[in-house]
Structures are given as structure tokens and as C-alpha cells.
A and B are shown apart, each in its own frame.
Chain A
Amino acid sequence: MKKISVRTSDGQEFELEENLAMESATIKTSLDAFSRDDIILLPNVNSWEMVKIIEFFTKVQELETKFGVKFMEKKEGRFLEAFQAEFDKDLSDDNLYCLLWTVDYLGIEVLLENLCHLMAERTKNKTVESCRNLFGVQHDYTPEEEAEIREDYSWAFEGPEIEE
């Protein structure tokens, strides 16, 4: 299989399998514009991120072989669970931010799906306030809007019933 060469922002070169390279919309666009023998420059991707992306992609291919189905066709829970089990604990929130950004930049849909899932899991089991602190988000609701949110909670539940 043909290898595509890329160079990351810190000057390291990687040889990617063609099928991985073609998953990235950004790389694919570059390849269409230039010859496949050229090295593609990725100024927004550093080598740590590249290593991780190759690792993730290898895992997804492994799972697709194991389960016999393409992830993007069915997006089955078992892919997400297996991916999470393998990678979640070693990724800090900051790591995850960098990878999300990079994978979005490279346009690798299959990895973006999995990373978004990891990210969604991290919003669970927290208070709203700690979500704000974690993600550097400002509390920008007016008191009226907050009241509306409280209503969200109350009517999310079955209405009250009076005991006879």
C-alpha cells in the first residue's frame, strides 16, 4: 500500500498508510492538488498528536475487523465502549482538547465521532458549575433564563400525582 509522507509542525516526518491519509479530508484535498510523492506539511499538527492519531486509527481498524462492520455505517456502541476503555484514562482534558481540535482540522470523521463521545462522557456526573469551570465557560444566563432552565428539570419528570 502506498505511503503518504507528512511533516508535522515540529519538523517530524511520518509515513501514513494511504487509507488513513485518505480518511483525512484535509490531507486528501492536499493530495488532489499536489503529487503523492510530495511531503504534505501539517503546520497545525504536532508530532505527539500525529502519533496519537495513528494509534487511534489503528484501533478503529482493529475493531472493524473484529466486529466485521464499518464504524461509520452503524456507529455501534461497542466501538465507542472499546475505544473509550482503551484511551480514555490516559488522556487528560487538555490532551483531549488538542486532539479534538486537530482531528477536526484534519477532517477525520471516524476519529471525531469517537473523540466527541469521549468528551461527552466527561460532562457526565458533574455539576453544571464544574462543567463551566472545566471548560472555561462563563455563566451567561439571566435570572429569567435560569428560571426557564429550572422549569426544564421539573417538567422533564412525570407530573406530580396526588396520593388518594
Chain B
Amino acid sequence: MDDTVDWSNLPVELWPLIGEKLKVRIDSLRFRSVCHSWRSCLPRFHPSPPPKFPLPLSDGPTSFLSQNTVYLLQTPSTSSLAPPSCGGWLVKVEECDRMILRNPITSRRIRYSNDSSSPECFNLLEFRMIELGKSYFLRYIQGSGSVVGLKKVILLPPEIVDCAILVMSDKGNLGFARSGDEKLTRFSNGGFVFDDVIVFKGQPYVVDSLGCVFRIDVSSEAMVKISSKVVGFGGRKHLVESCGELYVVDRYFDQEQNKQQGTGVESDFSRFVLWRGGRHQRYQSGEPKVVDFMVYKLELLDGELGRWVEVKSLGDRAFFLAVDCCFSVLAQDLAGYKGNCIYFSNENNVNLALREVTRPESFVFNLEDHSIQKLGSSPGGSQIFWPPPIELGSTCSYSLD
């Protein structure tokens, strides 16, 4: 083996073979920006057709999978070697024909106006874009609107099954489908109402409304209980992975409006009535107000059900409860974010958020004093999503949510 390697000796026919493996537009853009020969060996990116899936009451595949990716933007100087005050920026990108910028928490589309001909967003020549995670949702093939009635969609890891999803309905039921299947397979949930589903260490896990966590074996459709329930009575549980461990975040709503599952259908209908009335009519969400959070870490024990241990502090990490996914970030990697906080949206309905029927807002919950603040109202608070901190030579002005 040589001590030093000269990459220019790599047979030129390999570069197109390498470049064509990049299925995400950002990665393809980056590859084509490196030099002439890389650029010429890869054609302009064309997204491959998204996989199609059936829906709960449909025959045949009537929806397609849409993907959001959350990226951390960093300028090269804001690496881990730089002073902590130089943080990066979070942004969420939906991949479709073109890419769409979204608020990383509310998924609301970020709108901007420009005076010059082209806003220089996402100049990859200056930024480093690190993928933090992906989230998914389904859109109807007819019309491309986001599918109604689904709380969450996850893509199963390819090692388990190629191109298949688990969907969770607003009512807490779980379904499974492979790409191109005619029908969705509903998992019998034994009376449980599920709140969240994630992939953790390569396996799908669900949590029910009482905080019991199950690992799902897709091939046998079995649910293996791996924890006892959480001692907590919040209205909705979220599963978050952080540093290789599994957490449950219990969201507490205003007492008077607690446990609204039964009114799900009625309140959705009333929103749609108003929506049809005028395309841009703002509707004040009837979502109950969040008043508190409790965080628990799962301790897995050999041969016994795992137990939940209350977590009083997240230390230097921040949890994000986005409307369609949950993730954790080291706060110092981000400009304007604090550790030991949970960032969340007051809109729980993915479909309403994406269709922009409601205008969700982002909030931050501080574990230290259990305080909740709206982002945008605090100084510098509105700037943590957009725009990025460096001058792009832009003549754009940005309007924030």
C-alpha cells in the first residue's frame, strides 16, 4: 500500500460511477461544484421518481413519499475547532422537483422576496451542509397535497426491508406498506393508541399514549414490549434519540383541554370548513396549549422490561420536537440555541402545517425553570432559523414566520 495516494490516478471512468450514486440533490450539486472533470461526468440532477404507497382506505398506491432533510449549515470556520460563539444554522429542505426551504420545527415554508434576479441561497461553495436527519410524509398522487389523517411516516431501514414505510394515523393506529403495494397492512395494536414511531438503532419502535415502548418486528408483525409505562400523564409522548439512547418526551397540555383524542375528527372538520372559505384565511389553531414537558431516558435491563428514568437536565443538548420528526443537537453547534431546552411547535397536525391552514409558531421550553417562550418574541429569537449569519452578497430580504 502506498504511503501517499494520488487521486488523480484514479481511472476517470470511475468518477461518473461514484457521482451517480448521489441520490440527493444537495450532494449532487456539491459533487458538480468541485472541478471541471467531476462536473462534466455527472449530468444535472434529476430526482428519481418517488416511491408510491397505498393509503388506509385506498385500493392501490395513491400516494407518494416526500422527504424532508434537516441540515446543519456551517461556514468552514465554524467547525468544532472554532470558538463556540460561531454557531451554525438549522434548515429543513423538502426534496421534490425543486427544493423547498422549510422552518425546521414547524415545517412551514420559508418565504422570501428578492430584489435582484437570484437569491444566493445555500451557496455550497461557502457552507458546509451536514445532514442531521430525515423526515417523511405522504402526498396524494392526484394533486400533490399532503395526505390527511396521518400523524407520522417513517421509512424503514433498508436492512430490514427495501423501500417500505410505517404510517401512524392521527388516531394512533399503525400501518405498513411496501412500495407499490395494493393495500396498507394494518397492525393490530391490541387496543393501544400510539403516539410516536421512530427508527432507533436500525429498528422501528413505537410508544403508546401511556409511555410503553414496543419494538416492531415487521416480518412477523409482532410488537415486542421493551419498557414499562412512563409515570406521567401528559397528552402526547414523543420518542427522541440522543447520543445513542432513547428518550421519551411527555408533552403536557392545558388541563382543561387535555386528552383531546376523541374530538380529533370534529375539530379537523371545522378547520377545513374555514379553509375552503378563503384560501388565505388565517385560522387560529384550536390546538391545546402546551404548558409543560417531562423528559425520561430509557434504561434497558437484561431480561427485564426497561424502565424510564426522569431526566432533569439535557445538559448541553437541545431537543427538537418538529411537527414530523424529533432529534437532538449539541446546542453549541448552533447559533442562538441553548442547551437544556426543548424547541417545539404548537401545531401537532402535520397535514395542517404542510397545507398551511394554520400558522404554527415555534416555542422553546427551558428544563431549568420549566418556562416556555415563543421564538420570535425574544431578542435574536427570530433569527435562529433564517437567514444564515454570513453575507451572501445578497440583496434579498427575508420574511420570517
Complex CA–CA separation, A137 to B129 (angstroms): 20
Binds B, one of A11-19, A25-33, A34-42, A120-128: A120-128
Interface residues as binary, A125-164 with B (CB distance below 8 Å gives 1, 0 otherwise): 1111111100111111100001001111111111111111
Asked if A123 meets B35 with Cβ closer than 8 Å, knowing A98-B5, A101-B9, A136-B7, the reply is no
Complex CA–CA separation, A93 to B7 (angstroms): 10
Asked if A77 meets B158 with Cβ closer than 8 Å, knowing A98-B2, A150-B123, A153-B122, the reply is yes
Are B124 and A127 within 8 A (Cβ)?
A: yes
Are A139 and B35 within 8 A (Cβ)?
A: yes
Interface size class of A (residues with CB under 8 A): 35 or more
A-facing residues in B1-18 (Cβ within 8 Å): 1-2, 4-11, 13-14, 17-18
Which of A101, A104, A117, A157 is B101 in contact with, Cβ under 8 Å? Answer: A157
Are A152 and B30 within 8 A (Cβ)?
A: no
When distances are taken between beta carbons in the complex, the residues of chain A under 8 Å from B17 are 112-113, 116
Complex CA–CA separation, A137 to B32 (angstroms): 13
**Interface assignment of A3: CB less than 8 Å from any CB of chain B:** no
A-facing residues in B278-331 (Cβ within 8 Å): 280
Asked if A81 meets B157 with Cβ closer than 8 Å, knowing A152-B32, A157-B98, the reply is yes
Binds A, one of B19-27, B54-62, B221-229: B19-27
**Interface assignment of A119: CB less than 8 Å from any CB of chain B:** yes
**Interface assignment of B263: CB less than 8 Å from any CB of chain A:** no
Q: Min CB distance, A14 to chain B, in Å?
A: 17
Which of A120, A129, A130, A135 is B19 in contact with, Cβ under 8 Å? Answer: A120
**Interface assignment of B121: CB less than 8 Å from any CB of chain A:** yes
Which of A77, A138, A158 is B35 in contact with, Cβ under 8 Å? Answer: A138
**Interface assignment of A64: CB less than 8 Å from any CB of chain B:** no
**Interface assignment of A90: CB less than 8 Å from any CB of chain B:** no
When distances are taken between beta carbons in the complex, the residues of chain B under 8 Å from A58 are none
A-facing residues in B358-401 (Cβ within 8 Å): 396, 399
Query: Does more than half of chain A's interface fall in helix, strand or loop, or is it mixed?
Result: helix
Are B128 and A81 within 8 A (Cβ)?
A: no
Asked if A100 meets B14 with Cβ closer than 8 Å, knowing A149-B33, A156-B29, the reply is yes
Asked if A128 meets B125 with Cβ closer than 8 Å, knowing A154-B118, A155-B118, A160-B112, the reply is yes
**Interface assignment of B100: CB less than 8 Å from any CB of chain A:** yes
Asked if A120 meets B21 with Cβ closer than 8 Å, knowing A81-B159, A141-B35, A157-B122, the reply is yes
B-facing residues in A90-120 (Cβ within 8 Å): 93-95, 97-98, 100-101, 104, 112-113, 116-117, 119-120
When distances are taken between beta carbons in the complex, the residues of chain B under 8 Å from A129 are 76, 125
Chain B residue with Cβ nearest A66: B159
Q: Min CB distance, B103 to chain A, in Å?
A: 14
**Interface assignment of A5: CB less than 8 Å from any CB of chain B:** no
Q: Min CB distance, A52 to chain B, in Å?
A: 10
**Interface assignment of B99: CB less than 8 Å from any CB of chain A:** yes
Q: Min CB distance, B391 to chain A, in Å?
A: 14
Most buried by B among A123, A136, A159: A123
Q: Min CB distance, B298 to chain A, in Å?
A: 23
When distances are taken between beta carbons in the complex, the residues of chain B under 8 Å from A140 are 35-36
When distances are taken between beta carbons in the complex, the residues of chain A under 8 Å from B158 are 76-78, 80-81
Asked if A136 meets B8 with Cβ closer than 8 Å, knowing A116-B18, A126-B128, the reply is yes
Asked if A123 meets B112 with Cβ closer than 8 Å, knowing A101-B10, A153-B122, the reply is no
Most buried by B among A82, A101, A120: A120
Asked if A95 meets B18 with Cβ closer than 8 Å, knowing A125-B131, A153-B122, the reply is no
When distances are taken between beta carbons in the complex, the residues of chain A under 8 Å from B280 are 164
Complex CA–CA separation, A127 to B22 (angstroms): 15
Enumerate 18 A-B pairs (CB-CB under 8 Å) in ascending A order: A80-B158, A81-B158, A98-B1, A119-B21, A120-B27, A123-B22, A125-B129, A126-B128, A130-B128, A132-B35, A152-B29, A153-B123, A154-B121, A154-B122, A157-B100, A160-B112, A160-B119, A163-B113
Chain A residues at the B interface, C-beta cutoff of 8 Å: 46, 48-49, 76-78, 80-82, 85, 93-95, 97-98, 100-101, 104, 112-113, 116-117, 119-121, 123-132, 135-141, 146, 149-164
